[in-house]
Structure formats: C-alpha cells, structure tokens
C-alpha cells in the first residue's frame, strides 16, 4: 500500500481536534501539513480509530528477543493474551512482568487516562523505545492490543516462527467506540458448530473489537444447549440439523467454557432461545408441549414460521421458566434473548398473552430481555433491547418503542445479515433480503438509519450469521469476511472517519493477515486485494 487517499489524510487533521477534545495533549508531530510515511501501518487499522497520528519522522519500535510485556496489576491476563499472540511468529520469550526495569517493552497501563475515554477506550503510543497502551479497564487495554496487532506486519499472525523484522510504526492512537454494543450472531441451531469452531469465530470477531456474541441456540431444526430439567431437548432435539446431519449440543460445562473463552476476549455472550415460534425441536422432544399432545417429527428443512409453543397449556410456562432459569445461571451477561420473530402460526392475541407471562420470568431472574423487534408487539419494559432485522428504513413498532425509552440494536437484514449472498454467483447463503456486497454492508449510518430513531437511541449494531447453508468454519469465514469488519467499523468508528475509499484500502491490507490465519475470505471484486 502506498500513500493514503486524500480523505484519510484529512483524518489526520481531524485527529488533532479529536485529541484536543479528549484533552490528551496533541503531539507536535501532528501538524496538518504532515504526510505520514509511505508504508505506515498506522493508518491501516480496522475499525478506524478516533485519531491516528503517525510520527512525522517515520520512526519505529522493533520487537527484540529481550522485549518484555510490562503490565499493571489487573492487566496480567491481557498481557498473557498479547504474549500468546506474539510468541509463535516471533519465537521470542516475551515475559509478562510487572518489573519496571529494562528497556524494550510493551506496557499495558491501567487507569491513567482521561475518563472521557470510557471503559473501552485506550491510548496507544509508539516510539523507538517501546509501546505504551493505557486504558481505564482491561477492556480498553484489550482493544488497544487489537490495534497494536494490526500495526505489526501481517506475518505476526503466523502460528510458527516467521521472518521479522517485527516493527511497529511510531505515533499515537487515541480511540474509543461510537456505540456500546458491537455484536456478531452465530446460528448454531440450523447447523451445529462445535465448541472449537465457535472459539475460532470468537477469535476472529475479537480482532475487530466486537464485544458481544449472540448465540442462536434453539430453532426448529435443533436444540443446542443442555437443559438438565428437560434433558431430551438436547439429546433428542439436538440430534439433527438442516440436511439431516448429526447435529449436536453443548453440555452446560462446554457452554460455560465458551462463555469464559469469550470473556477472556472481552466478549459477552447473549444466549437466544427463540419462542414461541421456531420451536419444532422442543415440540418434537416433548409431546406434552404440543396442544394436541402429539410430538411432531424432527425437522431438517429450511422453512420458517410453522411451529408454536402451546399458549394455553400451563406446562408451556413451566417449560419456559425452567429453561430460562438454567440459562440465566449460565449467563454472566445482562441479557437473555427470547427471539419472538416469525411466529406466523401464533395469533397476535396469543403472542401477547405468551410474552406477558414470559417477560416477567426473565426479569425475575435478574436479566434484561433482548428479542427480535417483533417482540415489541408485547410491549416489553423500556429496559428490553429490541433488535431490528427489517429491510426498510422505518418501522412503527421500533419508533414507538424508542419514544417510550427503549434503546435498539440494529441488524437490518439487507445491510448486516452475513448470510445473504454477495451476488448471484455466491455458492453459499440466501438472498431473501437481497445481495450484500461489501459496499452495501459498509454503506449505512446506524446513527441515522431508521426514521424516528436518533443516534442516542441506538445501543449498537449486530452482524447476524444464519446457518441454513453453512456447515463448517470455512463457510462461516467466507460469509463473514470481509463484511464482518465492515459492520464492526460501523459500530466502533466515529462517523467522521467513514470513507469507502479508505475502508477498501484498509480492507485490502487485512488480506495477508487472514491468509496467515487460514481464513477463507471472499475476494470481493470491489477490493484491490494484494496479489
């Protein structure tokens, strides 16, 4: 990559004012006529930071066999995470230490930044002697580490010793997210993905400062989480998937391990049990949940909207109560996602009746409710988080909820659904919400997208990945890359940085990293991928 396109240079100017706003003390190197050195990786970070100020002299820090990772108390785990990232390719020891002596260091400092950076913000300073990341919390340090990772050569992602030099361009980044919630969803119900496959996706999304993983754990084709009080949900309801494969489920122990793995990467898991529709796997597992007392067969097709829990049976509420109680006990995060979409065979009065009993169950467990925006028909509390998945830029249910005080999560299907095909030739995915090329995924402003929904009412964005056509990690990756980084940038970066030419240039620079990581990405013709 050579010199930055013009709009990105303007960003350096913008950076100066951003620094002033944050009161972080602009460095003298950030003069407006400054041209960043050619090849500077400082300007390649995705999501685009609030401000990037490459050193005017083009200096750099170089990792050596003597470099240490110096951590404050409370930063040790992030330090170990960083060491684990850097050791394989460099072959260096990179001890994680609180010893203040020694020269060459990457320092992770807690609590010494402007409080306006918030819990997730950080500053990153690089000079000849070292790298210093500062943040108020481990979350902020982790975000700084992800930026640092992208400042190193792509070969740093190699899992075996690779050729250096391991240089980091000198300069300063000051950064914090635009939106609190930056999510990815994985549908493990239509096709089951093993804990290892889910962890692989967690690793990938964490590179782009995604902080929430929504797991779609139950649908018509499969129930994927062990519920001890209703064991057949998993052992029978989880025993197949779309196409009739073997399916699978997570034991509670495996699930806790996934939640912990995500938490180490500063990602909160939101579990979803979809109801009252999308419930064939449950209805097939327990005949008594059906209004007629007859269990339907397991389902391995891809139709939607044909199943419903039995609204007038008391056992339905015992079932939902037991499931939510076990799920809440597995969930350190604040939300349980209750689905609520496409309940086409549940009448509207029944739908409302159902959720008027179920919503308080989640609240009584100390959890907030998340749900697809259809759930707004049942008027949940203002603490509930409706997730917009429509394909138009206005929705009365959502507008009314925002007027009542709800915040919303945006995942418009025609922009952010990673399972939509890129174009008519894409071998995987669906197209009911249209084709989504990279510029479409990137080309909308969450802060002004929905009529009647101001930026202040938007909690954030999510990139859902439904798995009717996806069976293995390769498939996940082909659909998520490169669009997941686009949605991640919409969620993190200030709108003032939004620039397609800059984004496509930075995206191209990610490709060698994905190749090192074995990520099978879609080579969109919109991007000038390196040879």
Residues acting as catalytic residues = 342
Query: What is the maximum alpha-carbon separation in the chain?
Result: 77
Nearest-approach distance from CB 119 to ligand ACM, in angstroms:
29
C-alpha torsion sign, points 451, 342, 275, 299: negative
Binding to ligand ACM in span 86-125, by CB under 6 A: none
Question: In this structure, what are the phi and psi dihedrals at residue 157, rounded to the nearest 5 degrees?
Answer: -80, -5
Q: Which tokens hold the place of 220?
A: 């018509």
Q: Which of 262, 254, 214, 257 is nearest to 238 (CA)?
A: 254
Helix, strand or coil for residue 53? strand
Nearest-approach distance from CB 189 to ligand ACM, in angstroms:
12
Nearest-approach distance from CB 243 to ligand ACM, in angstroms:
19
Nearer to ligand ACM, 389 or 503 (CB): 389
Cα 406 to its chain centre, rounded Å, is 21
Residue number with the smallest Cβ distance to ligand ACM: 341
192 scored as a contact of ligand ACM (CB under 6 A) = no
Find the helix or strand (DSSP H, E) in which 412 lies: none
Nearer to ligand ACM, 109 or 341 (CB): 341
Nearest-approach distance from CB 417 to ligand ACM, in angstroms:
7
Nearest-approach distance from CB 343 to ligand ACM, in angstroms:
10
Nearest-approach distance from CB 107 to ligand ACM, in angstroms:
44
- The Cα–Cα gap between 166 and 465 comes to 35
> Residues 256-295 vs ligand ACM: string with x where CB under 6 A?
----------------------------------------
- CA 49-50-56 angle, 5° bins: 80
Nearer to ligand ACM, 132 or 341 (CB): 341
> Residues 289-328 vs ligand ACM: string with x where CB under 6 A?
----------------------------------------
Nearer to ligand ACM, 241 or 341 (CB): 341
Q: How many residues bind ligand ACM (CB under 6 A)?
A: 4
C-alpha torsion sign, points 100, 103, 108, 111: positive
Nearer to ligand ACM, 223 or 389 (CB): 389
Nearest-approach distance from CB 490 to ligand ACM, in angstroms:
19
Nearer to ligand ACM, 22 or 343 (CB): 343
46, 51, 52, 55 alpha-carbon torsion, rounded to 10°: -170
Give the neighbor-by-neighbor strand order of the sheet with 122-127. 51-54, 171-175, 122-127, 130-135, 105-110, 68-71, 96-97
Nearest-approach distance from CB 191 to ligand ACM, in angstroms:
16
| 479 conformational bin, left if phi > 0, alpha if psi -120 to 50, beta if neither | alpha
Helix, strand or coil for residue 140? helix
Q: Which of 143, 258, 137 is nearest to 193 (CA)?
A: 258
Binding to ligand ACM in span 352-411, by CB under 6 A: 372, 389
> Residues 332-351 vs ligand ACM: string with x where CB under 6 A?
---------xx---------
Nearest-approach distance from CB 470 to ligand ACM, in angstroms:
15
Q: Which of 154, 209, 149, 199 is nearest to 178 (CA)?
A: 209
Residues present in the chain in total: 531
Q: Which tokens hold the place of 302?
A: 């891809």
Nearer to ligand ACM, 190 or 506 (CB): 190
Nearest-approach distance from CB 448 to ligand ACM, in angstroms:
23
Q: Which tokens hold the place of 9?
A: 């240079």
- Residue indicated by tokens 């997570």: 250
Nearer to ligand ACM, 341 or 477 (CB): 341
- Please, which contacts does 264-267 make with residues 24 or more away whose CB atoms are closer than 8 Å? 264/77, 264/81, 265/81, 265/142, 265/202, 265/203, 265/206, 266/138, 266/139, 266/142, 266/143, 266/206, 266/211, 267/202, 267/205, 267/206, 267/210, 267/211, 267/212, 267/213
- Residue indicated by tokens 């099978």: 520
Nearer to ligand ACM, 175 or 341 (CB): 341
Binning the chain into helix, strand and coil, the percentages to the nearest 5 are 35, 20, 45
413, 418, 421, 423 alpha-carbon torsion, rounded to 10°: 90
> Which residues in this chain contact ligand ACM in the complex, by CB under 6 A?
341-342, 372, 389
């Amino acid at each position: 990559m050579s010199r930055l396109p013009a709009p990105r240079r303007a960003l350096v100017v913008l950076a100066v004012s951003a620094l002033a706003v944050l009161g972080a003390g602009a460095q003298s190197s950030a003069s407006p006529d400054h041209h960043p050195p050619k090849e500077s990786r400082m300007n390649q970070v995705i999501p685009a930071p609030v401000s990037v100020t490459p050193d005017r002299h083009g200096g750099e820090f170089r990792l050596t066999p003597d470099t240490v990772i110096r951590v404050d108390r409370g930063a040790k785990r992030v330090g170990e995470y960083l060491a684990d990232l850097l050791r394989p390719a460099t072959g260096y020891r990179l001890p994680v230490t609180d010893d203040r002596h020694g020269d060459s260091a990457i320092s992770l400092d807690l609590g010494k930044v402007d409080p306006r950076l918030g819990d997730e913000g950080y500053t990153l300073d690089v000079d000849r002697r070292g790298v210093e990341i500062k943040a108020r919390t481990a979350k902020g340090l982790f975000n700084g580490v992800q930026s640092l990772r992208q400042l190193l050569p792509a070969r740093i992602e190699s899992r075996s010793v690779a050729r250096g030099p391991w240089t980091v361009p000198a300069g300063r980044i000051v950064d914090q997210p635009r939106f609190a919630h930056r999510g990815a969803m994985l549908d493990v119900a239509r096709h089951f993905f093993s804990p290892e496959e889910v962890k692989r996706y967690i690793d990938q999304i964490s590179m782009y400062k995604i902080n929430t993983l929504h797991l779609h754990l139950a649908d018509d084709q499969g129930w994927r989480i062990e519920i001890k009080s209703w064991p057949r949900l998993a052992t029978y309801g989880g025993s197949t998937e779309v196409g009739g494969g073997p399916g699978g489920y997570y034991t509670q122990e495996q699930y806790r391990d996934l939640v912990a793995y995500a938490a180490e990467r500063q990602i909160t898991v939101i579990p979803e049990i979809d109801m009252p529709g999308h419930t064939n796997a449950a209805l097939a597992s327990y005949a008594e949940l059906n209004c007629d007392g007859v269990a339907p067969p397991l389902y391995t097709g891809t139709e939607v909207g044909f199943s419903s829990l039995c609204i007038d049976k008391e056992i339905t509420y015992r079932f939902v109560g037991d499931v939510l109680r076990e799920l809440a006990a597995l969930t350190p995060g604040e939300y349980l996602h209750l689905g609520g979409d496409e309940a086409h065979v549940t009448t509207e009065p029944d739908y409302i009746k159902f959720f008027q009993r179920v919503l308080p169950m989640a609240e009584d467990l100390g959890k907030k409710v998340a749900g697809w925006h259809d759930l707004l028909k049942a008027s949940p509390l203002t603490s509930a988080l409706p997730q917009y998945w429509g394909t138009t830029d206005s929705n009365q249910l959502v507008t009314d909820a925002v007027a009542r005080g709800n915040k919303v999560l945006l995942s418009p299907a025609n922009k952010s659904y990673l399972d939509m095909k890129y174009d008519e030739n894409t071998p995987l995915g669906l197209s009911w919400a249209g084709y989504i090329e990279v510029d479409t995924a990137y080309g909308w402003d969450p802060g002004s997208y929905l009529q009647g929904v101001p930026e202040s009412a938007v909690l954030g964005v999510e990139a859902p990945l439904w798995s009717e056509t996806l069976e293995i990690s390769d498939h996940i990756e082909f659909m998520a890359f490169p669009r997941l980084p686009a949605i991640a940038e919409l969620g993190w970066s200030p709108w003032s940085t939004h620039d397609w030419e800059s984004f496509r240039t930075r995206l191209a620079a990610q490709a060698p990293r994905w190749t090192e990581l074995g990520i099978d990405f879609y080579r969109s013709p919109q991007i000038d991928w390196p040879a």
